[in-house]
Structures are given as structure tokens and as C-alpha cells.
Amino acid sequence: MQTVLLDLRYALRQIARSPGFTLTAVISLALGIGATTAVFSVIYAALLNPYPYPAADRIVRLTLETKAGLSGAGMNGPQIQQLRQLPIVESVLAMGYNPMLLTGHDLPENVNALRLISTGFGALGVPPVLGRGLLPSDAVDGQEPQAVAVLSYKFWRKHFFSNPDVLGKTLQLDRKSYLIVGVAAPRFTWYSGEVYLPLKLTQDSGPAYIVDILLRPGVTHEQADAALGPLLEAFAKDMPKHFPEHFRVKVEGLNEWVVRGIGGTLYLLFGAVALLLAIGCGNVSILLLARGTARQQELAVRASVGASRRRLVGQLLTESLLLAAIGAALGVLTAYGMLWAIVGLLPRYAFAPEVVIHINLPVLFFSAGVAMATGILFGLWPALELSRTHPSQAMQVNVHRVAGSVRGRSGQKRQSRKKLESIFHPLRDTGYGKRDTGKPAAQRYPRRRLVLTPSRSASIQVFSRP
């Protein structure tokens, strides 16, 4: 334990001694981990796992494709009954919006009530938090539906303050009382409903309802299009005013509108930040390799005075782990900050209301693990390299480098001196700059000697001999 504390103290001193290296490595790791985790968390929540429904991949929206684009296909009660008979259909999710007023309080309040077919909760497969969902007995064909209501989770928390005794109480909507029989799960926000009431399917051709379909297992979208096409064409012949003149049936998944809208942008952004993580790890590896090369002499000296290979590896491992841990910790904080910023910049209705965006822990651990592995692998390289070379050889290499650099500087100085002497020597006995003094040139220009002063930049001084 004492050895670990000593290694940790020495690692802290090494990190503090090189602030430029430390900041560059830590910032590279933090940005790579944070950006990758934040963007993938958004992708996972909005594109890969947006809905809490177990069979979300089999729920499709029924649309009509025309030259103007895609439009919804509404159906009345008799048409829904025929749609149920198709072999590809497991369940029909028919619904209708019904804006209502919450009455019975001081001030009325608008409520987004959604009338859902009584088999809807069973088909969606999300159990409520309290009580039950809508049952087939709540809306029997040919009878008035029961006056029961299922509250959404947010509505329950807002108006009943998460009171678990809400079951059995009444809720007044448009001055009509409804018995509260359940509270939906937190992520159950089907079509943004606040209160769910049973839907009455009439036998006349008047009202049209929104229709989604739960396909049977194994049925593809192409098979569904082929099976639904003839049925809707027959409906269009019977009720031409309710259908466009030329259309083609096309079913699409629940989340296809999100993928079509922002999917490409999010995947492109994820590719960019994944590259940022790779660049960050690459920068750290280069920095560690350069630092390890510079410390070869230090490690060789320590090995020559008795430090074992295990001791050197332990010291470098502590330094690498400490550096990587600091980068990973800052990366976690960066991920939370970037995620908050990305969610704030996204449009309000860019994805389904069921989407809950939070940090994706598996990708966070993966990114941090990659960063830690990079730091450990390249941080241990100097000790592993030293183990293949005897310490005395490593020290000799460094001594030769130093000696070579000193001899190189001395040789350069001698060459420079010779060149300058060859330039100034011919001027000694010449009449360059001759004045009419009547003296010989040797007296006018006495012999001079050249001196190079030992400084960083060569300076030339010419002194006259006495």
C-alpha cells in the first residue's frame, strides 16, 4: 500500500511538472469521450429505442401515397371491422382525438383526451403504474362505452400530485364524471394523450378514426401493402369522397418519420464524433510515446541503480492510469453538458413524445474503456522497451548522443573560424582603403588575429597585435 501511495505521489508530481502535456492529453480524451457518448445517447433514444412498447417494430401506420406525398387513411366503424378480418392483422389500434375541458374546478382547463379502442392497452403491451388499462368490456360493440378513464403519468403527477389513492375517484370532463381506473406508465404517451377514454365504434359510415395496425409476427411491410391494397381500393369505390383519386397503400413504421427527418443528420454527427474519439486517442498515444522516449535515460538510470522491471512498470502504470482517469472523469462531465446542449438545440417535436433521452451507460463505459486502454498501453511502452535493452546500453546510447552533439558544436566552431580567417587573411597586406599617408601598407594595416567568442550566436572580434 505504501508503494502505491509513493507511486501515486510521484505520478502527481510528474503530471504537474508537464502542464502542457497534461492539458493536451486530458482535453483530447474528455472531448472524445463526451462528444461520442452524448451524440450516441441521442441516437439510441430517438432512433434505436424510442418506444416502450414491446411490439413497436410490428406496429405500422396506414398511409396513402399520392403525387402530393403521404397522407393518413381514416376509417369508419364498419371498415375497421373488415380490416380486423385480414390474416396479416393481429390487432387494430383505432383512436380519435377529443379535446375536452377539465371542469369541476375553479378554472376550466383544456385536456387532450384520446378515445382509444378498448383493446388498445392490451395490444400495446405496457402495463399501467396503478390500476388497469382499458378493457374490451369497457366498450362493447353496439353499446355506449363505460364512463371510465385512464390517466397519463404526467397528468396524474400534475393534477393529483402522485397520489396513489387516485383509483376510484372521479374526473369531470365537459361536466361529465368519469371513474379513474388506472394510471399509465411514465413512457406511455400514445399520441400525446393526457386522458384515455374508451372509443365507441359506430356502425354508420359517418365518423372516421385514425388507424394503426399491429401486424402478426413475420409479416413484412411489403406483404402488408399487398394485402391492404385491394381492401382500401374497395373502400375508395364505396366512398370516393373520403379517398384521393389515385393512391397507393403504404404502411410505415412508427419511427420512420423521425428517421426521415433527422436520422441522416444524427448518424453523420455520430460518425464525426467517433472520429473525434479516435483522433483524441491517437493524440494521447503520440504524446505518451514521445514522453516515453524522452524518459528513456531516466528509466535507464533508475534500472541501473537497482529498480526492478516490476517497479518501473508499476510506476508508469500508475501515471498512465491517473492521466486516463482524469480524462475519463472530465469526459463524463463533458458528456452530460453536451447532452443537455444537444437536447436544447433539437426542435421540440423532432421525435416521438415517448422518447426519454439520458446518458447511455454502455457507450459511456466503452468510450472511457478505450481511453483508459490507450493510456495504459502507450504509457507502459517505455518500460517494455527498456526491458528488451540492458540499462547500460541505453545509458551509453544517451552518452554518445550527448558527446556527439558536443563534438558537433565544437567542430562547427572550428570550421567557422577557418572560413572567417580565409576571408580576412588576404586583407592583411593589401592596400584596400589606401590613404595618401606615405607609409607602407604593412604599417598602415598591422597584423590582426581573429577571435570567436563562445556564445549562442557567433560573434567576430578583430584585435590588433601590439
Mapped onto helix, strand or coil, the DSSP state of residue 404 is helix
Per-residue model confidence (pLDDT) at position 320: 81
Backbone angles phi, psi at 192, to 5 degrees: 55, 30
Domain limits of the chain? 2-50+258-389, 56-254, 393-428+439-464
User: For position 351, what pLDDT does the model report?
Assistant: 86
In 103-227, beta strands by DSSP E: 109-116, 130-131, 148-151, 170-173, 176-183, 195-198, 210-215
Question: Which H or E element spans position 360?
Answer: none
- Cα separation, 151 vs 371, whole angstroms: 46
**What per-residue confidence (pLDDT) applies to 134?**
95
Q: What is the pLDDT of residue 388?
A: 56
Which residues, listed in sequence order, are joined to residue 253 by a DSSP beta bridge?
60
Cell of 452: 570567436
Cell numbers 570550421 correspond to what residue?
415
Per DSSP, what are the bridge partners of residue 98? Answer: 113
At 418 the pLDDT is 56
Query: Cα–Cα distance between 49 and 66 in angstroms, integer?
Result: 30
- Identify the pLDDT of residue 410: 52
Smallest CA-to-CA distance from 191 within 260, 65, 89, 98 is with 98
* 421 SS3 class: helix
pLDDT tens, the chain, 466 aa long: 677 777 778 778 878 888 888 898 889 889 989 999 999 999 999 998 999 999 999 999 998 888 887 788 889 889 999 999 999 999 999 999 889 999 887 788 999 999 999 999 999 999 999 999 999 999 987 788 999 999 999 999 999 999 999 999 999 999 999 999 999 999 999 999 999 999 988 887 777 899 999 999 999 999 999 999 999 999 988 888 888 888 899 999 999 988 888 888 888 989 998 898 888 888 888 887 787 777 767 767 777 777 676 777 777 778 888 888 898 899 999 999 999 998 888 887 888 889 999 999 998 998 888 888 887 777 777 666 655 555 555 455 444 444 444 444 555 556 555 544 544 444 344 343 444 444 444 454 444 444 444 444 344 444 444 4
Please choose, from the candidates 323, 344, 342, 346, the residue with its C-alpha nearest in 3D space to the C-alpha of residue 334: 342
User: What pTM was estimated for this model as a whole?
Assistant: 0.74
Res 129: pLDDT = 96
Kind of pairing between the strands at 109-116 and 195-198: parallel
pLDDT computed for residue 338 by the predictor: 93
Listing DSSP states for 404-461 in one string gives HHHHHHHHHHHHHHHHHHHHHGGGTTS-TT--SSS--HHHHS--EEEEEE-SSS-EEE
Report DSSP state, residue 315: H
Mapped onto helix, strand or coil, the DSSP state of residue 65 is: strand
Q: What pLDDT does 385 receive?
A: 64
How much helix, strand and coil, in percent to the nearest 5, is found in the chain?
A: 55, 20, 30
Distance between CA atoms of residues 56 and 149, nearest Å: 24
Q: What's the pLDDT score for residue 16?
A: 84
Q: Which residue blocks in 109-148 are alpha helix, DSSP H?
A: 120-124
Exposed (0-12), middle (13-18) or buried (19+): which is 49, by Cβ within 10 Å? middle
If DSSP codes are grouped into helix, strand and coil, which group holds residue 451?
A: strand
DSSP 255: T
